[in-house]
Amino acid sequence: MQITGKRILLVDDFEAIRKTIRKELILMGAALVGEANNGEEALKLLRESQFDAVLSDLNMPKMNGLELLQTIRADKQLHNTPVMLVTAETSRSMVEEAVKHKVNDFLVKPFTLQLIMERIQKLLSGQFVSEQEILAILDSPISPEVLGLAEEQIQIEKATVLVVDDNADNLDVIVGSLKDVCQVKPANNTQVARKLLEKFPPSLILLDIMMPDEDGYEFCQWLKEHSDYQSIPILFLTAKDRPDDVAKGLILGAVDYVTKPVHPVVLKARVNIHIGLKQREDKLRNQNRMLRRTVQQKEDSERIMQHDLRSPLQAIMLATERMPESGGELDETISLVRESAQQALDQVDQTLTLARLERGKQALNRKDISIMNFLSGLRPAMNLLADDAGVDLHWDLDHVARENINVDITLARNLFSNLIRNAIEASTKGQTVLVSFNQDEELWSVSNPTPIPVEIRKHFFDKYISHGKSKGNGLGTYMAKLVAHAHNGRILLKSDGSGTHIHVKIGMN
């Protein structure tokens, strides 16, 4: 593998991308993965240490990727360093400028980890992308491989099959049968096989049972105990076809059994099937690894939102609070800045909460609270919203005001504020929105007289589903569902000629 033992420099002002790619490179055996936030930092590292390749984002502060490439090519000591540029933009002038300064590869976002690892391996091995291929990016759509939509193809001709048999005639027959469909590596004993395993990792092993010194059973057991080889499928190849021998081979980990004398047509079919299965298994394993990396990248992004966005927004709010009142237009501007910062901060918090709820990782701070006190943090804002819309908001909850519920108060208030806000926005002036509680069924209800369109009802609680609201993002009811489920509660919709009724069971012991 070309990455093993190599030194690679990652240059990107987005830390989450750097760390995600760095983790993958380390897992693949890189000796050193340096990180730089911009071109200036990258040049400093390049002049202090030796790197085998540079992977750089294009758009960065201080010195961008194109300027870094130009500086590298103009430097006598660095000018031969392989450079790959990565960007979400593909303007003709930018791509042509990169080609002019001899960029070795050019990758357009979005990309998968698997794709970028393959391109880095080619970069390290000297398989540079041609100028024509880079310029072709200007006219090319996003590849189906990036989107995970590429049609599955079994490429048996690129697969390597290791054949282990002490009989030279048998080896000749098998090699002759398979040489046109795959790469065949013959070994007349297990010692030779071990050497070939290191040089040519196979997709499949054909293994004879009866051999001197070490038989096929013993070699099979060694393979299955070795982490580098235990996933390679093994087909036993032998004249022995007794049930006990077949069972022993399968118990040791073989996937199939071929008897001698070998029939070329049957052998080709078996090899084709098992190489195809192996390739599908490898593909699934890579996809699972990519999914795990994607989850990690999402968590890294959440941490960035938590710290890098919330902190400056909070600073803006604190700074505006300390500004003296002037009684003029400046006060209105300061108020607008403060409100905008608060909205942005609320949006960051909602996005983080939503992500944690989706993954089932939102910790609930459940407390007992009376319904009266719970509503005290909800009623004023909702009543004001209803008054502004000319809607009558009626709270039929006096009979249970002193009943206790056990909820995460912040999340539960978010749930009901979303449902009540949606009901108010769906109503017209003079109509009534009713918030009630059925003590017998332990169900909260939020009702309004406007029915939900039939085509929306089935997907009402799905993500991004919205109807009739110019500012709606379709997250309110989706988040309400997640909050209810996080409390081990339930939420359901009933919509007919009488209107729309959302029933919620949450917080009851």
Q: Note down pLDDT in tens along the chain; length 509 residues.
A: 578 889 999 998 877 678 778 888 998 888 999 999 899 999 999 999 999 999 999 888 778 899 999 999 999 899 999 999 988 666 677 788 888 889 999 887 767 778 888 899 989 988 888 877 777 665 544 444 433 434 444 455 568 999 999 989 889 889 888 888 888 999 999 999 999 998 898 989 999 988 888 999 999 999 999 888 988 999 988 776 667 777 888 888 898 888 888 888 888 888 888 888 888 888 888 888 777 776 676 666 666 555 566 667 766 776 777 677 766 667 766 776 777 777 777 777 777 788 788 888 888 889 999 888 888 888 888 999 999 999 999 999 878 877 888 999 989 998 999 999 999 999 999 999 999 988 888 889 999 999 999 988 988 998 877 665 544 567 889 999 999 999 999 999 999 989 999 999 998 75
Contact of 160 with 233, CB cutoff 8 Å: no
CA distance 502 to 9: 54
CA distance 446 to 502: 5
Cβ neighbors of 61 (< 8 A, separation 6 or more) are 13, 38
CA distance 207 to 221: 12
CA distance 455 to 477: 16
Please state whether beta strands 404-408 and 490-496 pair in parallel, antiparallel, or not at all (unpaired).
Answer: unpaired
CA diameter of the chain: 101
Compute the CA torsion angle 345, 346, 348, 352 (nearest 10 deg): 140
Cβ neighbors of 356 (< 8 A, separation 6 or more) are 302, 362
**Taking CA 244 as the corner, what is the angle to CA 239 and CA 246, rounded to the nearest 5 degrees?**
50
* Inter-helix orientation angle 476-486/409-426, to 10°: 150
Nearest CA-CA partner of 65 in 30, 112, 97: 97
Contact of 486 with 414, CB cutoff 8 Å: no
Please state whether beta strands 183-187 and 160-164 pair in parallel, antiparallel, or not at all (unpaired).
Answer: parallel
3-state secondary structure of 256: strand
Contact of 235 with 256, CB cutoff 8 Å: yes
pTM of the model: 0.43
